[in-house]
Structure 1
Amino acid sequence: MQALRKSDERGHADRGWLESWHSFSFSDYYDPQRMGFGTLRVINEDIIVPTAGFPPHSHQDMEIITYVLEGTIRHRDSTGGSGDLSHGELQVMHAGGGITHSEINPSTGERTHLLQIWIQPDRRGHPAGYEQAPLDADALRRGFVTAVGPKGSDAQFQINQDARLDIAWLADGQTVEKALAQGRQYYLQVARGSVVANGEKLAAGDALTLRDEAKLVVTASGEAEVLLFDVA
């Protein structure tokens, strides 16, 4: 079974310094039918104007992934973690028992465009922490790469949950396939460009949910970037 979620069906907020689209209930957007997807709790697409951002604020018991599409986001947190994140890198913050951080667009002239993703951990009270590293661009251009996976997996980033994030960067006309496991559920988010996925046309911001499907076949229409979440 698969279902299409169009970009314009998401929640939307425009605060002047921040424009945001919410795939699931978040802040002032509430839809009891959209509280998450398995352990995937948040996908927010944010555009932040120059020099603006989120001042220090706290999180607890959440695995937070940041994927930048355009510009830079500057991260500082209470564990001592810090870094300027741009496209081609990934950041994972383990909120654990509690962490305070800020996220600012440091540019005076360019906006920051990013996806922030929250995954619920397997239990409360894990140690807090922060990781940031470049992704393997060559591998991503060949097909799906498991960038995030559970502890003990071979994923580049490991989180405290039985969940995975696969990323692919596709050239025009490129097709990639992925076998899907029975008993799992999958959420395909188009981050950039447009694709045809299992016969459905998706543009940037669109998503496709999959349950009890044997495989996923994605063909890019122009250059595209897609994120595939695999959750219990």
Structure 2
Amino acid sequence: MKTILQKASERGHANHGWLDAQHYFSFAGYHNPEKVHFGLLRVLNDDTVAGGGGFPTHPHDNMEIVTIPHSGALQHKDSTGGQGIIKAGDVQIMSAGSGVRHSEFNASTTEPVNLFQLWVFPKKRNIEPRYDQRTFDINDRINKWQTVVSPVEADNALWINQDARFSLTKIEKSKELAYSNAFKGNGVYLVVINGSVTVNGTTLNKRDALGVWDTDSFTIQANEDAELLAVEVPMN
């Protein structure tokens, strides 16, 4: 089992006024040659968008883009005709495929929205662009994994064009929870949304992340009530 630790305090940071962004990997004006990606996970941004702020229409291609709001609401519109408002409990995915243009704006003019946006390299290139979103029952992730993104039909999750799986949990203090890979040889990028946990002797606090690979499973101990995101991706 191999691991790599990313402390929240060591992330790249950019404050544009309307956007306060924390970058786990090199992105835009932040470049760290030691933090470019984890396997096929290319981007993980922890964004806070001020009321009335947002990203005007811009292009993407050949990337799987997943958005997970933590608070507030985000409004999306794209060139496939996809549109909607997502909030905590919702997950959104967009396959940019052969090319798509989209915009993302805070749905409120006064309250901030905080979200994770993640980019994963696709399995097949130049597919027809697509958009989907779903509301998940947060109670179905207490002390267990709730799969929200997966290519496996039986997972009843948002489909992704990659052998990748996104899972969320709310684990109670002193509980243990194991994670087992869905795909052999994949790695897992584990992010603490809130709380504190220990994995393989390493303590992770709010917004810390741990990349785990060369193992099929690992166990998480909750030091306090915690909320976690596990992003399982191919390593090459």
Whether TM exceeds 0.5 here: the answer is yes
> Residue type matched to 1:97 in 2?
S
Q: What is aligned with 1:226?
A: 228
Moved more, 69-78 or 164-173: 164-173
What is the TM-score with the length of structure 1 in the denominator?
0.93
Q: What is aligned with 1:186?
A: 188
What is the TM-score with the length of structure 2 in the denominator?
0.92
Which residues of structure 2 form unaligned runs of 5+?
A: none
User: What secondary structure is seen at the aligned counterpart in 2 of 1:150?
Assistant: coil
User: What secondary structure is seen at the aligned counterpart in 1 of 2:51?
Assistant: coil
Superposed CA offset, 1:105-159 (max 9, x none): 1212211000000001013201111101111323211311221112656341111
Asked if the contact 2:76/2:104 (under 8 Å) is kept, the reply is yes
Equivalent positions of 1:1-232 (< 5 A) are 1-150=2-151, 152=153, 154-180=155-181, 183-232=185-234
* CA–CA separation in structure 1 for the residues paired with 2:154 and 2:65: 18
* CA–CA separation in structure 2 for the residues paired with 1:58 and 1:9: 29
Structure 1 residue 223: deviation in Å?
3.0
Structure 1 residue 52: deviation in Å?
0.5
* CA–CA separation in structure 2 for the residues paired with 1:131 and 1:15: 29
Moved more, 151-160 or 198-207: 151-160
Superposed CA offset, 1:62-99 (max 9, x none): 10000001101011111111111000010001111111
* CA–CA separation in structure 2 for the residues paired with 1:230 and 1:203: 20
- Structure 1 vs Structure 2 CA RMSD: 1.7
Asked if the contact 1:40/1:118 (under 8 Å) is kept, the reply is yes
User: What secondary structure is seen at the aligned counterpart in 2 of 1:74?
Assistant: strand
> Residue type matched to 2:120 in 1?
I
* CA–CA separation in structure 1 for the residues paired with 2:60 and 2:172: 37
Give the number of equivalent residue pairs. Answer: 232
User: What secondary structure is seen at the aligned counterpart in 2 of 1:189?
Assistant: strand
> Residue type matched to 1:138 in 2?
N
* CA–CA separation in structure 2 for the residues paired with 1:50 and 1:203: 28
Which residues of structure 1 form unaligned runs of 5+?
A: none
* CA–CA separation in structure 2 for the residues paired with 1:132 and 1:3: 31
What fraction of aligned residue pairs are identical, expressed as a percent?
Answer: 39
* CA–CA separation in structure 1 for the residues paired with 2:148 and 2:93: 10
Asked if the contact 1:71/1:110 (under 8 Å) is kept, the reply is yes
Runs of 4+ in 1 over 6 A off after TM superposition: none
User: What secondary structure is seen at the aligned counterpart in 2 of 1:158?
Assistant: coil
Moved more, 174-183 or 3-12: 174-183
